[in-house]
Amino acid sequence: MAEQATSSMPEPGGAPSGPDAVAGADAAALRKAAIRDSFAVGIATAAYGISFGALSVAAGLDIWQTCFLSLVMFTGGSQYALVGVLAGGGTAAGGSAIATAAMLGIRNVVYGMRMKPIVDRGGLVRRVAAAWITIDESTAVALARSDDRAARTGFWVTGIVIFIGWNVTTLAGALIGDALGDTRAWGLDAAAAAAFLGLLWPRLKRFQAGAVAVGAALVATVATPLVMPGLPVLIAALVAVLVGWFDLFGRRRDT
């Protein structure tokens, strides 16, 4: 027993040895892996900012409005939804565009509740910064870790890399979109809706999600000629509410 106790103690003037050294090495390896994954996810995600910047300009926003949106809103799905509705209905659809983006942003509240025990440290400024970068990717990288310190590292590195990269690429995309001039001549007036569909497609693996998508598309198609631009999206959202409330198609399994 004495030999076991002394083997885990650091040598005088030296580094820790034994189990402490192994634990320290494991923790360092976990943090290193978290940083590696953070940069991989962050750089790949930030690249999409170019398309958002161009699509936002195509939807009618100017360069600085587009950049301000990425800086303040900083949640890709909601940003694409906002410019998608604006592209379809112009400024008259502003209220509906904001409501649609807000509904998609609700998921970040859930992420915040899940991440609070891990990142809720430090003062007010640190907490505001954590809330600002609580997005799909930072949450996913953090929750994939088995160690809390590695999870915090993954959360902060992913969030910061994406925040910087997303805003830089948004500016680049907005400049490209502005240089193109008449974006409708290039087909970019419909690109925002196509891009949002691309974000949605991977989430339609379950039958229930597919049923919601088809039902919402039918409702929006019927409502489009009857109501003002932007409202069909909000009306179609009721399909998801009804399916979720009554758990319709929930028992059916994919084949």
Tell me what pLDDT residue 21 has.
54
State pLDDT tens for residues 84-134.
777 766 555 566 667 767 777 777 888 888 898 888 888 889 999 999 999
- Cα Rg for the chain, rounded, in angstroms? 23
* pLDDT tens column, 56-68: 888 888 899 999 9
Higher pLDDT, 35 or 239: 35
Identity of residue 241? V
123 CB neighbour count, 10 Å cutoff: 7
147 contact partners, CB below 8 Å, separation of at least 6: 27, 30, 31
Q: Is 210 exposed, middle or buried (0-12, 13-18, 19+ CB in 10 A)?
A: middle
Q: In whole numbers, what is the pLDDT of the chain averaged over residues?
A: 79
User: In the predicted model, is pLDDT for residue 22 greater than 70?
Assistant: no
**Would you place residue 3 in the very low, low, confident or very high pLDDT band (cuts 50, 70, 90)?**
very low
Tell me: the pLDDT tens digits for 66-80?
999 999 989 887 888
Structure tokens at 185: 């001549």
CA distance 93 to 91: 5
Instruction: In whole angstroms, give the CA distance from residue 62 to residue 244.
Output: 38
Give the tokens for residue 113. Answer: 């509740």
- Quickly count: other Cβ atoms within 10 Å of residue 251's Cβ: 8
Query: Tell me, what's the pLDDT at 246?
Result: 78
pTM: 0.67
Going by pLDDT thresholds of 50, 70 and 90, the confidence category of residue 10 is low
Among 81, 79, 52, 65, smallest CA distance to 169 is for 52
Structure tokens that stand for 231 in this block: 């409202």
pLDDT digits 0-9 by tens, 154-185: 999 999 999 999 999 999 999 988 887 665 66
Confidence label for 204 from pLDDT (cuts 50, 70 and 90) = confident
Write the DSSP symbol of residue 146. Answer: S
CB 220 within 8 A of CB 233: yes
Torsion sign, CA atoms 41, 42, 44, 46: positive
